[in-house]
Amino acid sequence: MDILLNGRRALVCGASQGMGLAIAQQLATQGADVVLLARNKSSLEQAVETLHQQEGQHHQYLIADFSEPKQVQAAIDGFIADNPVHILVNNTGGPPPGLAINAQPADFSAAFNQHLICNQILAQAVIPSMQQAGFGRILNVISTSVKQPLPNLGVSNTIRGAVASWAKTLANELGQYNITVNNVLPGATETGRLSAIFENKAKKTGLSVDEVIAQEKSIIPMKRFGSPQEFANVVGFLASPAAAYVNGINVPVDGGRTACL
């Protein structure tokens, strides 16, 4: 099975920590030249030093804040002309928790810009180089909420669903160019965001964080949380030549927690 990415360049968003960094590290291990995109320069400098370079790769980083789509546009416009991208991993932090009914219109607008609009900006920038190469992978890290909405994540559920529909539409449009578009759906994965969600739930319920964690593990068939590396392994496969005929799907990586098919 061919999972090597030598000679390919991957742009990984939100790659200074957590699942984004794990994905970047995995793609580098498979031989890709990796470009990290995030907002914190010092974190990016540290992250790029952790990437596998034994295949002679040249890893780089770009700085942009996904809450400011114009920054993302400027960053990619200044890079793409001389640096074709073959793999795009769209990944950024989710909206704050809360009920949909309590969210303000501005909350939805901000999340829409941060997720769908920035994804669109990046896709439009990199697709021409994918078409020229006859190889492209667009992978969106979203949420199992696109299959089954999650409690107290009203804005996130809404926006993640929009991104999933956008991705399926792109998959239909771009498949003819050997460009695949797929969504990878993390369940409870050991990241800083997961810890924040548990702390918020503990405050609302009066339970301790340990009690919340025990409850959450109990509803996962595997009775544990996933690791960022386990998630990155799935992304690495979908980014590879081995996944050439996998297109337009949602892949949960959640230990079986999602109850629907």
Residue by residue, pLDDT tens for the chain (261 residues) are: 999 999 999 999 999 999 999 999 999 999 999 999 999 999 999 999 999 999 999 999 999 999 999 999 999 999 999 999 999 999 999 898 899 999 999 999 999 999 999 999 999 999 999 999 999 999 999 999 999 999 989 999 999 999 999 999 999 999 999 999 999 999 999 988 788 888 888 988 999 999 999 999 999 999 999 999 999 999 999 999 999 999 999 999 999 999 998
Helix axes 18-29, 228-239, angle to 10 degrees: 50
Q: What local confidence, expressed as pLDDT, does residue 56 receive?
A: 94
- Bridge partners (DSSP) of residue 54 are none
Q: What local confidence, expressed as pLDDT, does residue 59 receive?
A: 98
Domain locations in the chain? 9-188+227-253, 191-225
224: how many CB neighbours lie within 10 A of its CB?
Answer: 11
Report residue 225 as tokens.
């949380």
This prediction's pTM: 0.96
Cα separation of 5 and 107, whole Å? 38
What is the residue-wise DSSP string for 64-127? --TT-HHHHHHHHHHHHTTS--SEEEE--PPPPPB-GGG--HHHHHHHHIIIIIHHHHHHHHHH
9-188+227-253 folds as Rossmann fold (3.40.50)
77: how many CB neighbours lie within 10 A of its CB?
Answer: 11
Q: What local confidence, expressed as pLDDT, does residue 194 receive?
A: 84
Q: What local confidence, expressed as pLDDT, does residue 193 receive?
A: 77
Q: What local confidence, expressed as pLDDT, does residue 257 receive?
A: 96
Do residues 178 and 128 make contact, with C-beta atoms less than 8 angstroms apart?
no
Task: Give me the residue label for tokens 């797929």.
Answer: 182
